[in-house]
């Protein structure tokens, strides 16, 4: 049985039939808000948010000088543990300041540090270097500079340490963010959630009595009579 309007809906649990009834009655609201939210999310992602490009490069981390020959399994295991150490070195203020000087680009160390990320590839001795920038050329130039001078910087700090370039920095063609399709879908889902919430709030605020059953549920009084619904032609 449907709970009383206002406080009644909060007092009694609603059945699935009642819930679907509310959603069916407000289907137009759900559709409208879903479309509006999806369009807004698409417009913001496509025309307002500046696209970001990501340049990728890869380094092979060694725990011995790169000119000393092939690596054995112990070298590889040690190199895996050195990835984090080398990442700290290559993201240090001193090193990034040199990268800015070499490239001649107008960035602060703090700005560049926010663009650069480094991580191990699948827990191997391979380090991936990423640079995010609104300018794809700047992203590639900065990433390549980091790769080119990484070996000298590491060998100066870590005795016997070295890295070798596996992949040079790529020139990004398409933006890495924003993800327009994903943002649009998220916008649609948020619109649906908002519409459902509004539909239930409107239902709770609606104090009108539409049936004999609702009147009995609300006041627990006998019904003396019902005014018929006359359709006048």
Place of tokens 């206002």: 6
**Beta-strand runs (E) in 144-220:** 162-167
3-state DSSP percent of the chain in helix, strand and coil, to 5: 55, 15, 30
Mean pLDDT by 10 residues, the chain (233 residues): 44 71 88 96 93 96 58 63 90 97 96 96 91 97 98 91 94 94 96 93 75 62 63 53
Distance separating alpha carbons of residues 128 and 147, to the nearest angstrom:
10
What per-residue confidence (pLDDT) applies to 16?
A: 82
Locate CATH 3.30.70.1130 in the chain: 53-167
What per-residue confidence (pLDDT) applies to 17?
A: 80
Distance separating alpha carbons of residues 74 and 94, to the nearest angstrom:
31
* Class of residue 102 by CB neighbours under 10 A (exposed 0-12, middle 13-18, buried 19+): middle
Angstrom distances, CA of residue 70 to CA of 41, 73, 199: 52, 10, 68
What per-residue confidence (pLDDT) applies to 73?
A: 62
What per-residue confidence (pLDDT) applies to 116?
A: 97
What per-residue confidence (pLDDT) applies to 25?
A: 86
- Top-tier CATH class for 53-167: alpha beta
């Amino acid at each position: 049985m449907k709970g009383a309007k206002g406080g009644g809906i909060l007092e009694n649990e609603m059945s699935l039939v009642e819930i679907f009834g509310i959603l069916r009655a407000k289907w137009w609201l759900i559709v409208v808000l879903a479309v509006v939210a999806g369009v807004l999310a698409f417009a913001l992602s496509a025309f307002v948010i500046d696209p970001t490009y990501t340049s990728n490069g890869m380094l092979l981390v060694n725990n011995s000088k790169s000119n000393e020959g092939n690596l054995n399994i112990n070298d590889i295991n040690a190199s895996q543990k050195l990835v984090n150490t080398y990442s700290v070195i290559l993201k240090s203020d001193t090193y990034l300041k040199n990268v800015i000087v070499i490239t001649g680009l107008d960035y602060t160390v703090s700005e560049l540090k926010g663009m650069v990320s480094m991580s191990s590839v699948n827990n191997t001795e391979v380090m991936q270097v990423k640079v995010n920038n609104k300018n794809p050329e700047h992203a590639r130039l900065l990433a390549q500079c980091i790769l080119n001078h990484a070996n000298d910087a590491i060998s100066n700090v870590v005795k016997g340490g070295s890295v070798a370039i596996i992949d040079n920095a790529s020139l990004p063609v398409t933006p890495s963010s924003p993800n327009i399709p994903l943002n649009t879908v998220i916008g649609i889902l948020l619109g649906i959630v908002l519409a459902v919430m509004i539909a239930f709030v409107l239902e709770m605020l609606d104090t009108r009595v539409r049936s004999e059953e609702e009147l009995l549920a609300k006041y627990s009084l006998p019904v003396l009579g019902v005014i018929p619904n006359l359709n006048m032609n």
